[in-house]
Structures are given as structure tokens and as C-alpha cells.
Amino acid sequence: MTPLDNSGRRILILEDERPLYEILKMMLETRGWNCVPHAANSRSKTRTAAAGEPIDAALLDLNAGETNGLTVADELRRENPSLPIVLMTGNSDKSLRERVAAMKHSAVLQKPFSIVTLEAALAACQASD
């Protein structure tokens, strides 16, 4: 699989574990993404995304400390209904996977995953109608 050209594209990352955030950032930057860290709370994030700095995709941890990835996804959807959103989880809850599967332009990945798996999920999110 040939990596997609993501030069100049911006991806919002919500991950509360700093070492994992750094690994995700490094993986994505090697593929051309500009990574935007999620602020401490979703209101700050929404202002960042809406303040002339649009994002092209989002990678959200479902349980990032006090911040819920689904809540952030809902907020992002209000701003951009077709934004590709990949939700990450260490939990294998079937009902959660079904809920995300029902959302357009979204995917859920079980941690850990590779950059190839992440790229495939992002591509599928962009292609979904």
C-alpha cells in the first residue's frame, strides 16, 4: 500500500498519555501530516479548530482522562459533518464499535495499531458517504 500524500494536511490528536501522543505524532508526521494537539478541554479545542486553523481529520482517544472522544467527535461534527474521525480505544466494547460504525466518515481502531492500519482507517473515513 502506497502512503497517501498528506503534505500540509492538519490532524487533531486527542490522547492523554504523553508517550503515546508522541508516537502518534511521529508516525503521522512521517506521512506528511501537521499534528494539532487537543487542548486540555474540548471548548479550547473547538476554538482552535474554528479560529482560522481548520483541521482535515481527527484522531481521538475514546477515554482521554476527563475528556470523552465521542463528545469531542460530536462537537467536531457540528462544525464539519464530513470530517474524517478515527476513534482509538483499548476497550473492545462491541456496542461502541457498532455506534461508531453507524457514524459517517468515522472508524474505530483497537490499540495498539500500525501506521498502515491508521492510514487505511483515515482513507476509509474520507471515502465513506
Instruction: Using a pLDDT cut of 70, give the percent of the chain over it.
Output: 84
The grid cell for 46 is: 473547538
Residue 119 in domain: yes
| Total domain count, the chain | 1
Q: Can you give the pLDDT at residue 128?
A: 65
- What pLDDT score was predicted for residue 52? 56
User: Does residue 59 belong to any structural domain of this protein?
Assistant: yes
Helix (H) or strand (E) holding 36: strand 34-37
Q: How confident is the model at residue 42 (pLDDT cuts 50, 70, 90)?
A: very low
Alpha-carbon torsion, ordered 70, 122, 39, 103, to 10 deg = -20
Is 2 a member of any domain?
A: no
Task: Identify whether 30 is part of a domain.
Answer: yes
Asked if residue 109 lies in contact with residue 84, where contact means CB atoms within 8 angstroms, the answer is no
Domain containing residue 110: CATH number: 3.40.50.2300
Q: Say whether pLDDT at 41 is over 50.
A: no
Decide if 74 is inside a domain.
yes
Per the domain annotation, does 62 fall within a domain? Answer: yes
> Residue 103 belongs to what domain range?
10-127
